[in-house]
Structure 1
């Protein structure tokens, strides 16, 4: 049985708008996005950036910056770093909006900083235009975090530390229309290729459009599906692209020729009709030149806690390799950057589970992590090149978001296994004792 949540895992932050998308901006900064839409409900639309660190006993998140996007809700986005700055491409109705994210190191002296203002019980930092930068936390009641010169969170008790931290300036760039359905066009998904040269978008008109990046000049268009797309993803080598849609098809494409390579096909139980919900490529663990493909599927037209499936596919021919059933419909999926773990979120109970990628064995289950369906998941990275990963006692940690406005974290503790030599010794001892017992009984 998979272990359940650690008592001190759970809520990291609460945002005052529904959340639909989440990605890691750097190795220790997470970006979440969403909003209330264009209706005049008073619910904002935009992004929030949080810095995450481990204080020795638990994960803590500190707000860094909030950027509002006016009347346009952010339903999906992708992030790419070029070493100097980050790019965000965000789906806002039928358009894809480019944002430039420029990091800057801010120094503090004796607790003072330009633009800092004192309020009751906390310190709030403001940029030149008055944007709120950082909240206080339970573990940091002053609201001031000490960060070493490289931007990594330092010891809060080290009064001699050089006080520096990373902040971000978000500036909008070009906006392009990516979906052209006659009635209410909407971009449903956007991905940036791992090599950073291409961007792919999909929406309600069923087309995949591939754009150059970061200039976002259209290079090709694929009439991929008869109904709206639900998800797309690039392979780790940027040569292939997988797409799934509400027409029930999962198709792998050659990016260069835009030709269909093969279609994902399986025989669902009891002849039921299933639709793919999410798709993700992952590197094969320890084999950077090979990849694996994962999907989640839900039954069509069924209401209630119907059985969903997590699936692994052969990337050469689209053959189903492994498949595990899950006791309710699934809403989201992510794969860790080293390809070792998969996390899935559920539709009805808001639960989160972590699986071993190669075997699809569940190793952690967090029931009712959210009060509503899980809209997004992302693992804390371990191979990120934009900075050192967050140090903790966890083997893996995944962030989850939902339309319940909450950002949560769930960590898998290191699993204790016996060394091979200990197992061999135990087997020998057990055999010896069995032999002695048999001799004593005269068997």
Structure 2
């Protein structure tokens, strides 16, 4: 059973995240009246979007909304909104968390910082921005193919590679922070070692594969693993890579449609993709949008990471293309956003795979047969 909640917030949404765990402190830890309560029952999600350049007529904005886990509902209106009236599409600003009071009591908002990210000024469009798990390293990948990696928040340069890819599409840090994976619009993926600031491996393609997204994760056995999505003429696949040899472990064809969003749960048990039907014979996102006249209904697939079997399907999750997928910190909820201005939370039930359950049933039957046979032998003269 799929349990989900969706709300429209009036601006096209392109990014989403959950409130950082470092902010989820309880009143008992801080007696200040400005300290928000524990978020066991009430959580916050952060959404970003807008029209891009100021001339589009749609302002860019950062929104904070509440998610009530007990009732599985998003707040009808954002509890906080920061409108960024900028005329430049490639402007990077620094925001800090701010405790605020709301109609419900306490909450979180954002305040614009006076700090300036000089290292990201006049660098063009960055298609990928990501932090390591500790929040101490920031990586940025540009449309021009340049990769920049900085210490955070000092912004001291670690890697400055002008020809990482033709165009950087996605980035992901390993859980231990030692490696950074990058994929681009053409050519192989690359693995960067942070300590030596060098590329140490290439993720080779097979035939006509085109890499789309990359995500490091912990496997169920608690080993590091790397997932990369790939598109071919037959559709979308997910490739699993060994993080020592950097060789393929497996490749699983997931859908005959295009994969336009991807992520991995924090506990490593689930993967999620958004698939869009191919109606024009192309997997190119811009062409798909044009052929479908802007309407990009598709399905969200939650998969078991161990077998790549489908766990949950959310049919026609949004009216427009899904722009981001983000699991909650406890991996029990999935936040998705779309350029149709909607945000949606889907609860992810902790159900076991059918294959595993079937083997358990067969084992019980075999044990029962063995016991029956043993008793039968004992009864014989």
**Bin for the TM-score computed over the shorter chain:** 0.7 to 0.9
Backbone CA RMSD of aligned residues: 2.9
Superposed, 1:125-164 pairs within 5 Å as 144-145=103-104, 164=105
Q: Structure 1, residues 130-167: CA drift from partner, whole Å, max 9, x if none?
A: xxxxxxxxxxxxxx54xxxxxxxxxxxxxxxxxx4223
Task: Show the counterpart of 1:405.
Answer: 341
> Aligned with 1:427: secondary structure?
helix
The 5 A counterparts of 1:235-250 are 235-250=174-189
**Partner-residue secondary structure (3-state), 2:365:** helix
Pick from 9, 23, 26 the counterpart of residue 20 of structure 2: 26
Q: Distance in 2 between matches of 1:253 and 1:180?
A: 25
2:362 and 2:345 map into 1 onto residues whose CA distance is 34
Aligned to 1:359, what secondary structure does the other structure show?
Answer: coil
Aligned counterparts of 1:418 and 1:14: Cα–Cα separation in 2: 39
Secondary structure at 2:52's aligned position in 1?
coil
* Structure number having the greater helix percentage: 2
Aligned twin of 1:357? 305
Task: Name the TM-score, length of structure 1 as normaliser.
Answer: 0.67
1:369 aligned onto 2:298: no
- Taking the aligned partners of 1:225 and 1:422, their CA distance within structure 2 comes to 51
* Contact persistence 2:240–2:248 (CA under 8 A): yes
Name the count of aligned residue pairs.
Answer: 329
Query: Offset of 1:430 from its aligned partner?
Result: 6.0
CA pair 179-255 structure 1, distance change in 2 beyond 3 A: farther
1:296 aligns with 2:229: yes
User: Is structure 2 residue 144 aligned with structure 1 residue 205?
Assistant: yes
Alignment of 1:94-173 (within 5 A): 94-104=90-100, 106=101, 144-145=103-104, 164-172=105-113, 173=115
Deviation at 1:314? 0.8
Pairing 1:340–2:354 present: no
CA drift at 1:420: 8.8
> What is the CA–CA distance in structure 1 between the aligned matches of 2:369 and 2:347, rounded to whole Å?
36
Q: Which residue number in structure 2 is paired with residue 153 of structure 1?
A: none
CA contact (8 A) 1:372 1:404 kept: yes
Residues 424/231 of structure 1: CA separation in 2 closer, same or farther (3 Å cut)? closer
Tell me the alpha carbon deviations over residues 189-220 of structure 1, each in whole angstroms, 9 at most, x when there is no partner. 11112232221111022111111211323343
Aligned to 1:35: 50
Taking the aligned partners of 1:323 and 1:407, their CA distance within structure 2 comes to 31
TM-score for both structures, normalised by structure 2: 0.77
User: Counterpart of 1:254?
Assistant: 193
Q: CA deviation at 1:381?
A: 1.3
Match 1:14 to one of 8, 15, 21:
8
The farther-off stretch of 318-327 and 34-43 is 34-43
Q: Distance in 2 between matches of 1:193 and 1:29?
A: 21
Q: 1:101 to 1:307 in 2, by over 3 A?
A: same
The separation in 1 between residues aligned to 2:162 and 2:57, in whole angstroms, is: 39
Deviations 1:262-285 (A, max 9, x none): 111243xxx4x1211111111233
2:190 alignment partner, SS class? strand
- Change in 2 beyond 3 A, CA 1:402/1:226: same
Rounded to whole Å, the distance in 1 between the matches of 2:12 and 2:120 is 24
Decide which of 157, 182, 187 is 2:126's aligned counterpart: 187
Which consecutive residues of structure 1, in runs of 5 or more, have no partner in the other structure? Answer: 73-91, 107-124, 126-143, 146-163, 383-394, 436-443
Alpha-carbon distance in 1 for matches of 2:324, 2:191: 23
